[in-house]
Structure formats: structure tokens, C-alpha cells
Structure 1
Amino acid sequence: MEFFVDMATTIPEGTTPEAVAEMRKREAARAAELARDGFLRRLWRPPLGPGEWRSWAIFSAPDADELERLLASMPLRAWRRDTVTALTPHPSDPGLGRPE
């Protein structure tokens, strides 16, 4: 299954810049692992407002429970709110590779 995940992060007040940098480093490492293992398929940075920290992603997982386990394994989840939308193929999707 594929899932669209809107990930909105709020850094807790009083968090030091060093702690933020360390968290981002750990998050990047975990994201690279998930990508390598085929779970994190795409990642985007949508248009952001001042002070907003948000990402959009496509994840692939066998089911919603496994997706939740994967999202929970990401360090930024401690500061992040995820909105998950399960995706189903559209019959007119040009990526389906239909013969002409």
C-alpha cells in the first residue's frame, strides 16, 4: 500500500539550536534507512510560512499498522504531528503502464 503523509513539526519552546541540529541529523539518518529499505518513496518540502517546518512524503508499507511503526521509528516524531492518507490507484493514472 502507498500512503501520503503530511508531517508538521513543532519544536518545543526552549529547545537549543544544538538539540535541533542533533534531532535533524538523527532524522536524516533514519529517513535514509527507510528510503534504502523501500519504505520512504518520495519526500517534498511544500511552500512554507514563516517558522513553519513541514514535509510531505509517500511511504510504502504492507498496511497502516506497519506504517505507524515506521513513522514512530523516526526521531522527529517526538515533535511532529502526522496526517496519513491511504492512497489507491486511479484508473487513469499514467504511471500504471497501460499499453497504448
Structure 2
Amino acid sequence: MQDFLVEITTAVPPEVPSEEVDRRRAAEAVRARELAAAGKLFRLWRPIGEKRSIGIWRAGSEAELRADVLGTLPLWPWMTAVVTPLEPHPNDPGAASH
């Protein structure tokens, strides 16, 4: 399993009805819990005052991450993602606990 740092920005088109946005946001929360339970979504943060998210996601490859993980998010059609593959750092203080 590979770790990825993923920065996601969501831009809902202005013509989308608010009911559709609300429905997708509710479904997004459910899907995020499912992906976390499956070990695909490890951590997720939102920078203070911003509408983007930064998270640690896990998948077998970047292609799998984009297609089979991020691509299953209900808001994905309105998202842009910057994906950075990660590898362990030799001085990572958390590595001893894994």
C-alpha cells in the first residue's frame, strides 16, 4: 500500500441546485467513512479559513487512487486534486511505532 498526500479543492458550478449540492455533501460524508474503514482514507485536514482539504490517502498506485478511491467520491466531478506520492523518511519519529 502506498501513501499519498492529496490536496483537494472543490468548485461547485453555480448552476447546480443547492438540493443537489446538499445531497452530494451528505453522500460524501458517508463515502469518506467507508473509505476510512477500508483503510483508504487515513487522515484529513482543512486549512483554517479555506474550502480545500489535505489528506493522507492509501492505495496500490496513483492510478488506483484516482480511479477506485477518489473517483468514487460523490463530489469528485467538481474536485481538482494534487496528488503527491510519499515514501518513508529515515528520520520519521513515527516510523518506530508502525
- TM surpasses 0.5: yes
Kindly indicate whether the alpha-carbon contact (under 8 Å) linking 1:48 and 1:54 is maintained by their aligned counterparts in 2: no
SS at match of 1:94: coil
Unpaired runs of at least 5, structure 1: none
1:55-90: per-residue Cα shift (whole Å, max 9, x none)?
111001111121112111111111100110001111
User: In structure 1, what is the equivalent of residue 27 of structure 2?
Assistant: 26
Query: Aligned pair count?
Result: 95
Give the fraction of aligned pairs with identical amino acids, expressed as a percent: 42
Give the superposed CA RMSD. Answer: 1.3
Kindly indicate whether the alpha-carbon contact (under 8 Å) linking 1:39 and 1:59 is maintained by their aligned counterparts in 2: yes
TM-score, scaled relative to structure 2: 0.90
TM-score, scaled relative to structure 1: 0.88
Unpaired runs of at least 5, structure 2: none
d(CA) in 1 for partners of 2:75, 2:54: 14
Query: After the TM superposition, which residues 7-18 of structure 1 pair with which residues of structure 2 at under 5 Å, given as runs?
Result: 7-18=8-19
Q: List structure 1 runs of 4+ shifted beyond 3 angstroms.
A: none
SS at match of 1:97: helix
Larger radius of gyration: 1
